[in-house]
A and B are shown apart, each in its own frame.
Chain A
Amino acid sequence: MLTKKQAMLKMIQKGVIDMMPLNLAVLPWGILCGSLAIQRDFSVLEALLMPMIVFAGAAQLVATELIAENAPLLTILFTIFIISSRHFLYGLALRQKLKILPLKKRVAIGFVLTDELFALTTDKKALKGKLRLAYGMSAGFSFYFSWLLFNIIGIVAGAYLPDLTTLGLDFAIAVTFIALVIPTITTLPVFVAVCVSGVLSVVLKLMHVELDLVISSIAGMYCGYITLRWKNQHKLNEIVD
Chain B
Amino acid sequence: MTLLTIFLLAIITFTTRYLFLHPGLPVKLGPKVVSFLNFSAPAVLTAIWVPIIFVHDDTLNVNPLDPFVLSATIAVVISAKTKSIYWTVGVSVLVFACMKFFL
Binding site for B on A (CB under 8 A): 21, 25, 42-43, 45-46, 49-50, 53-56, 59, 63, 67, 73, 76-77, 80-81, 84-96, 98-100, 106-107, 109-111, 113-115, 118-119, 122, 167-168, 170-185, 189-190, 193-194, 196-202, 205-206, 208, 212-213, 216-218, 220-222, 224-225, 228
Count contacts between A and B, CB distance < 8 Å. 260
Residue in B10, B19, B21, B44 whose beta carbon sits within 8 Å of that of A54 in the complex: B10
With A21-B89, A54-B10, A119-B41 known as contacts, the answer to whether A168 contacts B100 (CB < 8 A) is: yes
Nearest neighbor of B8 in chain A, beta-carbon distance: A77
B44 and A213 within 8 A (CB): yes
Residue in B32, B34, B53, B85 whose beta carbon sits within 8 Å of that of A179 in the complex: B85
Chain B residues positioned under 8 Å from A85 (CB to CB): 16
Chain B residues positioned under 8 Å from A67 (CB to CB): 2, 5
B39 and A221 within 8 A (CB): yes
A88 and B19 within 8 A (CB): yes
Write the nearest CB–CB distance from B16 to chain A, whole angstroms: 4
Chain A residues positioned under 8 Å from B5 (CB to CB): 63, 67, 73, 76-77
Residue in A76, A167, A205, A221 whose beta carbon sits within 8 Å of that of B36 in the complex: A221
Residue in A49, A168, A172 whose beta carbon sits within 8 Å of that of B6 in the complex: A49
In whole angstroms, how far apart are the Cα atoms of A100 and B21 in the complex?
Answer: 9
Chain B residues positioned under 8 Å from A109 (CB to CB): 21
CB-defined A-B contacts under 8 Å, sample of 15: A21-B86, A73-B8, A77-B5, A88-B20, A92-B27, A109-B21, A111-B18, A118-B41, A171-B71, A174-B49, A175-B71, A182-B76, A189-B39, A194-B43, A216-B47
B51 and A217 within 8 A (CB): no
Residue in A63, A173, A217 whose beta carbon sits within 8 Å of that of B47 in the complex: A217
- Count residues on chain B whose CB falls below 8 Å from chain A CBs: 66
Chain B residues positioned under 8 Å from A179 (CB to CB): 75, 79, 84-85, 88-89
Write the nearest CB–CB distance from B50 to chain A, whole angstroms: 4
A115 and B50 within 8 A (CB): no
Nearest neighbor of A218 in chain B, beta-carbon distance: B43
Write the nearest CB–CB distance from B59 to chain A, whole angstroms: 8
Nearest neighbor of A89 in chain B, beta-carbon distance: B40
